[in-house]
Chain A
Amino acid sequence: MLEIKNIWKTFNANTVNEKVALKGVSLTLNDGEFVTVIGGNGAGKSTLMNAVAGVYPVDRGSITINGADVTDLPEHKRAPYIGRVFQDPMMGTAASMQIEENLALAARRGQTRGLKAGITKMEREEYRELLKILDLGLEERMTSKVGLLSGGQRQALTLLMATLRKPKLLLLDEHTAALDPKTAAKVLDTTERIVQKDKLTTLMITHNMKDAIVHGDRLIMMYDGRVAIDVSGQEKKKLTVETLLEMFNKVSGSDEADDKLLLS
């Protein structure tokens, strides 16, 4: 479903701030696979996701989604394949537009937008039912501006928008990190349900090792712009936080202590 081949990404090339954030990352996700991604701060997790989404071009390598080479496509042209939820709850929704308008925008992801109605009566009914799944009472506030919602509500809405039209690939970048623990758990729970129901191919970055172990059927750890650990199947099921830390110490070598802190 997703095939990343040897991608490199350098920020601020040829300046004192030059940073090679991705150093030849290769990764293949099978159809319906749910992969969790962990790694210390600055390991390149977000950069990998943004490279896949087309936020910026990569220096080298190729990205193929569902058989289509998207390496040279701009962000909006990759959107038909990809549903995204960002770390920042403000990022995924249009604050000055209504809840139902945001959903209607998401329903047209990947379609040419012309002079047809921006939202139809039938859609409103569909959205009302969908919002009930979130169990946040948003179905009663469909014409409220999204800017009035809390971070958790916005994140849940973004998740719904990302999956409204079944994406080939769902990208979640620490999408519960900015939320309080209770809300985070709820949003993660909803995520699990939607991913299972639609059998979505998913890449989920998390800063929480336990979440990374509990969710998904494959776990990768990034370190210094590379995929350092990749476990799946039975091996993944047997993982504990301790064994994961141990594996991490092995790949990270000398600066283990710092990174250990960052990971916990």
Chain B
Amino acid sequence: MSGFLNALPGAVSQGLIWGIMAIGVYITYKILDIADLTVDGSLCTGGAVFVMLFTNGINLWAAMLAALLAGMLAGLVTGLLHTVCGIPAILSGILTQLALYSINMAIMGMKATVAININQEGVLDKLLVSLRFVQGSKGGFPFYRHPIFVVGIFTAGLIAVLYWFFGRELGAALRATGSNPNMARAQGINTDFCKVLGLMLSNGLVALCGALLCQYSSANEIKVGQGAIVIGLAAVIIGEVLLGKVFRNFALKLLSVSIGAILYYVVLQAVLQMGLDANYLKLLSAIVVAVFLTIPNWKGKYFGKSSRKEAAENA
């Protein structure tokens, strides 16, 4: 138990960082109604771009911005494959994801891992987040360096920006595109443009998450994004199932995604503490997502009317 409690701040930190990716997944999966598999690749792209720029002396914020832009570029490619080339969205994402493996390797100079040397003088100070900071005062770090605090603020800012954006004309057009593309086009909305924009926004956030993860673990690995989409979906769904009833406001819905990601990592940590081999985590994640995706469908099937009304409400 004490082992679990000791590991808790780390799990929450990780969950918060992954929550940023999950918010990206929310934009495609819930708002645009597209299951975008690009994220498995673009997460690593973010980390790769960041680590190469940062270790070559580029300013941290500039490196993070570059990571964001690289992710958006990946989203643009998927978007164009889908809209201009007419390839189904899922397949478009898979194609980009596959291509990104090579590209990510190339960015990292054909190395599977590129590390940030945090033992070098001054490097740790520059980082926004690091596993080291999780120790808090015990490790001699002030509370405001703690990842929970830093990423918490970061997430709050992000949610505020997204809340603002989706309340704008363009943001509303994106939501209409996902909700009913026929209606959207009839109202003069260019649904192709909206889909591409949403995919760019989403993958930009995913790449940003990759850049933060890279800082957190002081390295970027080629396989960091493997199964990321499942983690993102898990966070979205856990947040929705547990908090969907209470959180109706859009900002709160985004918050529930972040909370979903935290819960996911806390549960994962608990399972690990119980002695499960870490190699089983992917199996476990897949089962969790499959179960949570099943619940709403079976509810509708076997409990009839009342839940159908609910479905319309949550749709």
Contact = CB atoms under 8 A, between A and B. Distances in A.
Interface string A109-141: 111011111110000000000000000000000
B248 to A, nearest CB: 10
A179 B93 CA distance: 40
Given A77-B188, A115-B165, A118-B171, 14 more contacts: A91-B183, A92-B182, A96-B175, A96-B178, A101-B172, A105-B173, A105-B183, A105-B189, A106-B187, A108-B187, A113-B189, A118-B172, A148-B312, A161-B187
A215 B3 CA distance: 78
B170 A94 contact: no
Nearest to B168: A115
Contacts of A148: 309, 312-313
B180 A91 contact: yes
Contacts of B170: 113-115
B130 interface: no
Interface of B: 165, 167-173, 175-176, 178-180, 182-191, 309, 312-315
A109 B168 contact: no
Contacts of A94: 175-176, 179-180, 183-184
Task: Tell me whether chain A's interface is mostly helix, strand or loop, or mixed.
Answer: loop
B168 A145 contact: no
Contacts of A118: 167-169, 171-172
A79 B169 contact: no
Interface string A71-111: 00011110110101010001111111100010011101111
Q: For the side of the interface on A, what is the size category?
A: 35 or more
Q: Which 5 A-B residue pairings sit nearest by Cβ, starting from the closest?
A: A79-B188, A147-B312, A94-B179, A113-B169, A118-B172
Interface in A52-86: 53, 74-77, 79-80, 82, 84, 86
A74 B193 CA distance: 13
A117 B168 contact: yes
28 contacts: A75-B185, A75-B186, A76-B184, A76-B188, A76-B191, A91-B182, A91-B183, A92-B182, A92-B186, A93-B183, A94-B175, A94-B183, A97-B172, A97-B176, A101-B175, A105-B172, A105-B173, A105-B189, A109-B188, A111-B169, A114-B168, A114-B169, A114-B170, A116-B168, A116-B169, A117-B167, A147-B313, A147-B315
A94 B177 CA distance: 9
A145 B187 contact: no
B176 A105 contact: yes
Contacts of B186: 53, 75, 79, 82, 84, 92
A106 B183 CA distance: 9
A148 B313 CA distance: 6
B131 to A, nearest CB: 38
A67 B219 CA distance: 62
Contacts of B168: 114-118
Q: Residue among A106, A117, A118, A145 with the most chain B CB within 10 A?
A: A118
Contacts of B309: 148
Given A76-B190, A106-B187, A118-B168, A97 B179 contact: yes
Nearest to B167: A118
Contacts of B312: 95, 145, 147-148
A111 B172 CA distance: 13
Nearest to A113: B169
B167 A79 contact: no
Contact of A115 (B169, B183, B315): B169
Contact of B187 (A74, A96, A105, A147): A105
Contacts of B171: 118
Contacts of B172: 97, 101, 104-105, 113, 118-119
B313 A145 contact: yes
A211 to B, nearest CB: 23
Contacts of B188: 76-77, 79-80, 108-111
B247 to A, nearest CB: 15
